[in-house]
Structure 1
Amino acid sequence: MTQSGMMPAITQQMQDCIEACMSCHSMCEETMSSCMQQGGQAQMQVMRALMDCSEATRMCADMMMRRSPMAGEMSMLCAKVCDMCAEACTSVPDDQQMMRCAEACRRCAETCRAMAGATM
């Protein structure tokens, strides 16, 4: 909170990060659904990475929207989870949904690192 008791405004950088997180969250959910529809045994490592990324990106966006003092640290963790998910998705290179998800994860990781003030 600022000294006047009002929450600080959401900056353009925060808005970009929130949007990237929500886009990545949606893409992970769609990719999990796609994996399940294909039948067969989806690779558990990939599914775990998708689940972790879906949850981390949603939580990160939520924390930024409510101006949590932990949002910067969550952004750094979110970037790591997104990197892990992108790597897991690229382990299935013949699946176009996985490749789209990997790209969304990379984009989100980049905006989260910028939001956290970390160098790339």
Structure 2
Amino acid sequence: MTQQSAAATPMSKEMQDCVNACMSCHSICEETMSSCLQMTDQAPTRIMRALMDCSEMTRMCADMMMRRSPLATEMCAMCAKACDLSAEACMSMPDDERMTRCAESCRRCAESCRAMAGATM
């Protein structure tokens, strides 16, 4: 299959679900970073770094899947790692509702990305 015909092929439901999970995770990571910046006590640097990495990776991963990049499979694997680290960092503040919601979104995205990383795109 040529690159042009691959892009013309409709996305599978699994790939579309992964793109949606990535975009949702990207959005909540951005919102959580904004919330962290407004906290009276500073959010730990580790959490902010994890959120930034996850936000960037999920956006890039979705973009690569949508354009059927030959690197999308590897990107999905890296994205899953970034999401796992972000979820872990967010759960270091388990009493914060936004952090908990962000961690849940990161976990869903990581699961979807891991599935896509094992799929042939």
**What TM-score range do you get, normalising by the shorter chain?**
over 0.9
State the SS of the aligned residue for 2:76.
Answer: helix
Question: Structure 1 length as normaliser, TM-score?
Answer: 0.93
5 Å-filtered alignment, 1:81-96, equals 81-96=82-97
* Identity over aligned pairs, percent: 67
Task: Name stretches of at least 5 consecutive residues in structure 2 with no aligned partner.
Answer: none
Answering whether residue 12 of structure 2 is matched by residue 15 of structure 1, we say: no
State the SS of the aligned residue for 2:108.
Answer: helix
| Count of residues in correspondence between the two structures | 117
Task: Name stretches of at least 5 consecutive residues in structure 1 with no aligned partner.
Answer: none
User: Which consecutive aligned stretches of 4+ in structure 1 deviate over 3 angstroms post-superposition?
Assistant: none
Deviation at 1:117, TM superposition (A): 1.1
5 Å-filtered alignment, 1:38-117, equals 38-117=39-118
* Letter paired with 1:68: S
Return closer, same or farther for 1:92/1:62 CA change in 2, 3 Å cut-off.
Answer: same
* Letter paired with 2:47: V
Per-residue CA distance 1:81-112 (angstroms, 9 max, x = gap): 00000000000011000000000000000000
Question: Structure 2 length as normaliser, TM-score?
Answer: 0.92
Return closer, same or farther for 1:47/1:67 CA change in 2, 3 Å cut-off.
Answer: same
State the SS of the aligned residue for 1:40.
Answer: coil
Deviation at 1:38, TM superposition (A): 1.6
Per-residue CA distance 1:1-54 (angstroms, 9 max, x = gap): x24942232111110000000000000001001111123321000000000000
RMSD over aligned Cα, in angstroms?
A: 1.4
5 Å-filtered alignment, 1:28-39, equals 28-39=29-40
Per-residue CA distance 1:44-67 (angstroms, 9 max, x = gap): 000000000000000000000000
